[in-house]
Structure 1
């Protein structure tokens, strides 16, 4: 099936972004997986409409999208007005209005959001993720760290989550409060990595620990790494 994705960047000062933009479309039969949106050098300029075509299995009735960027570039912050998706095969159109920033230094600091059809942001489930950087020479990194959490039931996963605001210095423990629209607990696995950009790119991951604000809802999960990425 084909999905036409129209992305509308807001007409406010600094609205455009130079970062890499990603989307995951969720329907009743599954999701597209994370897809990078790029077909021109200057996508996502202030006040612009960008159009993309994605090939994917039939997702059925669309439910939500996850959209975000990797915060790369000199002008990474992005004001997203809305996304309109047309299901070509089933001749249906879905509106995902947002009118909010995806920027570390604007609004609530998020660069990734879940949006339901019609524009409501999803009710969040809070996960507490603790990342331990090893206490060995050269362990720290300035690269962007991300993780993906996979649920044990079915094939649901969180998509790529960038751990914003982390320091990841040698011997350091960084704690993140992550809000997702989906309950993944119990987790089957966690994948963690980095963007491999900047000075001191390599990183020694000691371990990752996940828990929930509501212990009755989310089972703890721990991943021991002890190797350099």
Structure 2
């Protein structure tokens, strides 16, 4: 991306010397991560007190590439000779952007820096900020993946499949901001359990509370319980909610229990070390078999199966068919 000094600037009558900056923006893979038509960047130096001022970046596809890199060549009359930090952001109330990292090259000096971000620029997600100041190589807030299980109680009187259910998870390192619980299989049926995987969200550390709400109208939703697993760190937080949300009361806070849904004592993240692996926890599984319609196709008694996953095996043992 570097260019010779003689090719990286030009003179325009009445404008003066123009300097070029190469900017590569990597967008996250989360759904809706690049839902913006344009953004701006301000390239700055704290040592020389220079800055380019806001420079607009418009991707050709009118949105940034989810899981990809968009490249821009920007012009400025200012040569920031010692780049130390940048401001990057947007001014759109609707739409969000998950920025993984930004690479900036001053084509006049050849200086190239990488600015990690790993956060949302979204009014309704993370901390709600739409502009962030990034410094080269500085540690930014880590991200995590959350597996959310939501149990709907029997007292529900409304179908919430399209009503906009959300959670806002809080912990020792902050909060995630509102995370929508949606998907093609979301039903929130009475006495049912819905599951969601939320990727590339802010890591809040040890979870201690969450806000639960929905934006639907009419009827009541009975939330029995919620369990959130941070699959990145292994932290599991069980929230025995037993609350009813309605248009009159659309938002309530739940506090984490000292046990998980199966009654296991909650693990301490700080206590986990390489020479002291975490204790195996008990889990419940719902298993469905489909038997073909043929003579003697059924089974009387017990069957055996072994469930295997990333964290090991459940072990082969006989199970009764109820």
Q: TM-score, normalised by structure 1?
A: 0.48
Name the larger-Rg structure.
2
Q: TM-score, normalised by structure 2?
A: 0.35
Q: Name whichever structure is richer in strand by fraction.
A: 1
